[in-house]
Amino acid sequence: MKKLLLPFILMLLTKAYAQTPPQIHQKAILIDTHNDILSNILITKQDVGKLQTTGNFDLVRAKQGGLDGQIFSIWCGEEYGKGTAYAFANREIDSLYALIARNPDKITLVHNSKELKKVVKQHKMAAMIGVEGGHMIEDRLDYIDSLAKRGMNYLTLTWNNSTSWATSARDEVTKKDSLKHLGLTDYGKRIVKHLNDLGVMVDVSHVGEQTFYDVIATSTKPVIASHSCAWSLDPNRRNMKDDQLKALAKNGGVICVNFYSGFVDSTYTPKVAAFLHQHRAELDSLTAIYHDGDLANIRLNAIYKSESDKIRPPLSLLIHHIDYIAKLIGVDHVGIGSDFDGAESYPLGLDSVSNYPKITEELLKLGYSEKDVDKILGGNVIRVFKANVGK
Ligand SMILES: [Zn+2]
């Protein structure tokens, strides 16, 4: 009888003290390494300090979703170049500063992991800056210094467009024969070393495979892929192949999974092409209104929600990317980089920053421990951040 009683008491105690998935989620430090809301704000003039009915991000929903740290993407298209791109980047940083100034009790800019943890303890959001596209430094090291001073915490070496010193994933695939150089040039290597010296993380999302391997051979610090998925599950050029993932793990880096349906689900692209074809005229007029094709696409998907919902992948497919990467290279090398407000479609259930708890719930269901979930949600990114900054 006694033999049976002890396990029974232990079971009751475990149940009484076991934490629920929402409790585990709220306790963890969640950091999302890629959000594009700042680019949209410049056009829409939304105040994301208040609850919004459009888009994926605002400070109210972020609180509900347990989002503790956000790396805000600073981005401009390839039509910006010498004399314009750096200025545009600074305008976007100004808009983040303005958001922070309006909401000092909710959000603070942080420069290292120590400050980040302090701000999280104060129940505020830690804001960080990721500059998405090497074209914004206009080939100048002093512009890197200025951006770092303003809070740049990673530089994505290229966006879809190559720079004079690094080739992008798009160009390495589509313009392979006409490229002036392939991978990182000597100046590109100098830039990587300069970022290492400044404590700015090198972001390898968007870069071509050759650039990626050149970065791995050059960087003395762990690197980040701020918003990419696993190529083996969706062979899109923006995703990372198994060998790249293994090299990233060896470097001590982290890949933060992108929620965009097109990078999660290999069947999405033809489906969305048919949807866009169906609504071409309306997409054209929305593009004329916003002067921005991506934002027009986002709005079109919202207008025809019931239709666009039908082509969204299930949440399980995104979780599969996390699980695949964790099993291939270890749970220490995967994180969250939603790309919210930068794409028109995400897996079902992920409508905004309020929905992150669903990811925690699914990971726990798959048998991930609380410790593992902590690493995936933010622990790994904090480790890489600290290794770069030095504190
Ligand atoms: Zn991107």
In the reported structure, the alpha carbon of residue 309 is separated from the centroid of ligand 1 by a whole-number distance in angstroms of: 22
CA 237 to CA 234: how far, in whole Å? Answer: 9
pLDDT-derived band at 387 (thresholds 50, 70, 90) equals very high
In the reported structure, the alpha carbon of residue 74 is separated from the centroid of ligand 1 by a whole-number distance in angstroms of: 10
In the reported structure, the alpha carbon of residue 330 is separated from the centroid of ligand 1 by a whole-number distance in angstroms of: 24
pLDDT at 213: 98
pLDDT at 16: 60
- 80-105 pLDDT, tens digit per residue, is 999 999 999 999 999 999 999 999 99
Q: Is the pLDDT of residue 13 over 70?
A: no
pTM here is 0.92
Tokens 């290597």, residue located: 189
pLDDT at 304: 85
- 333-345 pLDDT, tens digit per residue, is 999 999 999 988 9
Indicate the residue type of 168: S
In the reported structure, the alpha carbon of residue 133 is separated from the centroid of ligand 1 by a whole-number distance in angstroms of: 9
pLDDT at 3: 63
Check: CB of residue 352 under 8 Å from CB of residue 3: no
pLDDT at 283: 85
Q: Is the pLDDT of residue 285 over 90?
A: no
Q: Is the pLDDT of residue 140 over 70?
A: yes
Measured CA to CA in angstroms, residue 42 lies from 191, 290, 379, 384 at distances of 29, 11, 31, 30
Q: CB under 8 Å to 70, separation ≥6 — which residues?
A: 31, 32, 35, 57, 62, 125, 126, 127, 128
Percentage above 90 pLDDT, the chain: 79
How many residues comprise the chain? 391
pLDDT-derived band at 356 (thresholds 50, 70, 90) equals very high
pLDDT at 8: 74
Q: What is the arithmetic mean of pLDDT over 355-378?
A: 96
Provide the β-strand partners of residue 132: 156
Q: Is the pLDDT of residue 330 over 80?
A: yes
CA 264 to CA 319: how far, in whole Å? Answer: 9
In the reported structure, the alpha carbon of residue 13 is separated from the centroid of ligand 1 by a whole-number distance in angstroms of: 47
pLDDT-derived band at 124 (thresholds 50, 70, 90) equals very high
- 23-45 pLDDT, tens digit per residue, is 999 999 999 999 999 988 888 88
In the reported structure, the alpha carbon of residue 145 is separated from the centroid of ligand 1 by a whole-number distance in angstroms of: 22
Q: What is the arithmetic mean of pLDDT over 57-71?
A: 97
In the reported structure, the alpha carbon of residue 226 is separated from the centroid of ligand 1 by a whole-number distance in angstroms of: 8
Q: What is the arithmetic mean of pLDDT over 360-376?
A: 96
DSSP 207: B
In the reported structure, the alpha carbon of residue 227 is separated from the centroid of ligand 1 by a whole-number distance in angstroms of: 7
In the reported structure, the alpha carbon of residue 205 is separated from the centroid of ligand 1 by a whole-number distance in angstroms of: 7
pLDDT at 302: 85
